[in-house]
Amino acid sequence: MFSRLEFFITETFVSMRRHPAMAFAATICIAASLFVAGIVGLIVLNVNYATDTTLNRVRFNVYFQPEISRHEAWVAYKRILDMARVEEAQFIPKEKSPFWLKYQQNHPDTKNLLNRNPLPDSVVVKARDLEDIKALKLAMLEWGEVRSVRDTPDLIQKLINVSEAVKQSGIIIGIILIALSLVIIHHTIELTLYARRREMFIMGLVGATPATIALPFLLEGIIYGLFGAGVALGILVPLYRFAAQKIAANFGFALLTKGPEMTHGLIAVLIAGVALGFIGSVVSVCKYLRTPKSRLTNA
């Protein structure tokens, strides 16, 4: 078992060493594909990040009737908190209302004139999902304690639309890129194998089974994929960090540089490289392992 494994690994590396041009072409092809895919992935990731961050800040205000007591307002607040679609809620007594505080700060001279605060108690609510806001608003407006609910519906809807568009276009672009990459990689590996089809044929003539012939080529594909992914990441990561620094310095906008999304992205690029190399090899090897029909005459 070990000697078999050793045989396949040795075959793979000897073959790579003795076909440097092919190894280079296949690696660069995979690297280029993954580099472009990586850029698109980073754009999608950052737009999503920016949209999510903005949307995460979205709250709406629930204003109670001015006539109700503090106790009644508090009970209503507890009801809001108990709602399944509400993630968090904060009770704002009318004397702590930011509008009132700001008004007092800006008009110290009228403080005595308007010492009676006309604002009602309110609650700042964050829904679990942005799409729940509308339903929550409608439900709360039916309560007698609630006078009005205020938010910025246009902005929220726009952000939701942008987020969906980016996600969907990201998926479509990703699928197109993967398909294109597969075609390019398949052709590159097929070309490298075309040059080596004689070798494969001779291996078969000396008694090698299709699996024995194919395995080193498949391993080669996987290694090209890993190398390609490594090259792509080696260029992409420093370039992205540099761009993130420049954007942060010039536009004050922080790109996503850390977190599980980035780690998953790096792992995804490596896996994509391996998968592209492997699939490209499988398709090409299977094609050339079949005995050429022109050589066989059938009864």
Partner 1 sequence: MNACSLQPATLQPCNLQPHQPLPRVGTAPDVGIFRAMFHLGGELGYNRAVSEQPVIELQQVSVVYPNGIQALQEADLRVNKGEFVFLVGPSGEGKSTILKLLYREVKATTGHVLVEGHDVGRLAAVGVARLRRRLGVVFQDFRLLDYKTVRENLTFAMQVLNTPPQIIRRRVNELLEQVGLLDRRHDFPQQLSGGEQQRLCIARALINHPPILLADEPTGNLDPETSVDIFRLLEAINLKGTTVIVATHDHAMVDRMLRRVVYMCGGRIVGDHPAGSYYQPDECPCDDAAPAARGASAEW
According to the binding rule CB under 8 A, does residue 191 interact with partner 1? Answer: no
**How many CB atoms are closer than 10 A to CB 248?**
13
Which CB, 105 or 297, lies closer to partner 1? 297
Q: Which residue has the tokens 């809001």?
A: 80
Which listed residue (24, 156, 202, 245) binds partner 1 by CB under 8 A? Answer: 202
Q: Residue 285 CB, nearest distance to partner 1 (Å)?
A: 13
Q: 28: exposed, middle or buried (C-beta count within 10 Å: 0-12, 13-18, 19+)?
A: middle
Which listed residue (106, 112, 250, 297) binds partner 1 by CB under 8 A? Answer: 297
Q: Residue 55 CB, nearest distance to partner 1 (Å)?
A: 57
Which listed residue (93, 174, 210, 230) binds partner 1 by CB under 8 A? Answer: 210
Which listed residue (140, 156, 185, 203) binds partner 1 by CB under 8 A? Answer: 203
Residue range at the interface with partner 1 (CB under 8 A); choices 39-47, 101-109, 197-205, 246-254: 197-205
Site for partner 1 in 16-35 (CB under 8 A): 18-19
Contact by Cβ (8 Å): 86, 80: yes
146-150 and 60-64 strand pairing: antiparallel
Contact by Cβ (8 Å): 151, 58: yes
Contact by Cβ (8 Å): 243, 199: no
Residue range at the interface with partner 1 (CB under 8 A); choices 53-61, 204-212, 223-231, 255-263: 204-212
According to the binding rule CB under 8 A, does residue 296 interact with partner 1? Answer: yes
Which listed residue (110, 152, 209, 257) binds partner 1 by CB under 8 A? Answer: 209
| Dist CA 163 CA 50 (whole Å) | 9
| Dist CA 277 CA 22 (whole Å) | 13
- How many binding residues for partner 1 (CB under 8 A)? 28
Q: Which bin fits 253, alpha (ψ -120 to 50), beta or left (φ > 0)?
A: beta
| Dist CA 43 CA 64 (whole Å) | 43
Which CB, 146 or 213, lies closer to partner 1? 213
Judged by DSSP in three states, 124 sits in: strand
Which CB, 187 or 196, lies closer to partner 1? 196
Which listed residue (134, 212, 244, 261) binds partner 1 by CB under 8 A? Answer: 212
Which CB, 76 or 215, lies closer to partner 1? 215
Q: Residue 282 CB, nearest distance to partner 1 (Å)?
A: 16
Which listed residue (108, 207, 252, 260) binds partner 1 by CB under 8 A? Answer: 207
What is the DSSP code string of 146-186?
EEEEE--HHHHHHHHHHHHHHHHHHHHHHHHHHHHHHHHHH
According to the binding rule CB under 8 A, does residue 206 interact with partner 1? Answer: yes
Extract the tokens encoding 183.
Answer: 């075609």
**How many CB atoms are closer than 10 A to CB 219?**
20
Question: Which stretches of the chain bind partner 1, using CB under 8 A?
Answer: 3-4, 7, 14-15, 18-19, 196, 198-199, 202-210, 212, 289, 293-299
